[in-house]
Amino acid sequence: MGANVNGIDTTGLYLFASVSLLMALVKLIGAHDWSWWRVGLPLGMYVGFNVAHIGTGFIYLSRADIGQRPPQEEAALLRQHHRTPYFWLAFVHFALFALGVTELTAPSESLNGFWSAFGNVGVMTAYGSLAVVNLFLYWSSIFGRLLSDS
């Protein structure tokens, strides 16, 4: 159970913001020469994924034929479905997409160009598309069963 602000679980936001602050501290003391794009990557990845998750949910639910509301509270339904593999697979693909965006904006010199492959527009498009497909599968796995029951 995480921190709740008016019923909204903010644990993930605090976790990713803490990682970004830690990376900013490491950059400011000069221990590592990251770009500011890399420093903001964890927080940007968290916010961007949640925007994609909500947007995909709106698109899916606007196209779904909902006859009646489910008898359960929707928040409880979504809380238990965070264990769905599609959700985590979408998060991993979005994280790789976000890594590609930072690599495209500020290329890194570490690991002899290993990370530069993620900055390729085709690779970024593939990971972004896979994230959206997995989010659609996530939403259909939740509401597909509910809609078929009504």
Q: How many domains does the chain have?
A: 1
Cβ–Cβ under 8 Å, residues 84 and 138: yes
Please compute the mean of the pLDDT values over residues 87-96 and round it to a whole number: 92
Q: Is residue 115 part of a domain?
A: yes
Per the structure, the complete domain to which residue 96 belongs is given by 36-149
Higher pLDDT, 5 or 35: 35
In whole angstroms, what separates CA 115 from the centre of its chain?
20
Sign of CA dihedral 118, 123, 126, 128: positive
Q: Is residue 61 part of a domain?
A: yes
Mark 124-139 as b/e (b = at least 16 C-beta within 10 Å). beebbebbbebbbbbb
Which strand (E) or helix (H) includes residue 95? Answer: helix 85-105
Q: Is residue 98 part of a domain?
A: yes
At residue 1 the predicted structure's pLDDT band, cuts being 50, 70 and 90, is very low
Cβ–Cβ under 8 Å, residues 115 and 96: no
Q: Is residue 27 part of a domain?
A: no
Q: Is residue 23 part of a domain?
A: no
Q: Is residue 96 part of a domain?
A: yes
Q: Is residue 144 part of a domain?
A: yes
Q: What is the pLDDT of residue 124?
A: 92
Euclidean distance between CA atoms 10 and 13, whole angstroms: 5
Higher pLDDT, 79 or 94: 94
Q: Is residue 63 part of a domain?
A: yes
Please compute the mean of the pLDDT values over residues 21-31 and round it to a whole number: 90
Cβ–Cβ under 8 Å, residues 135 and 93: no
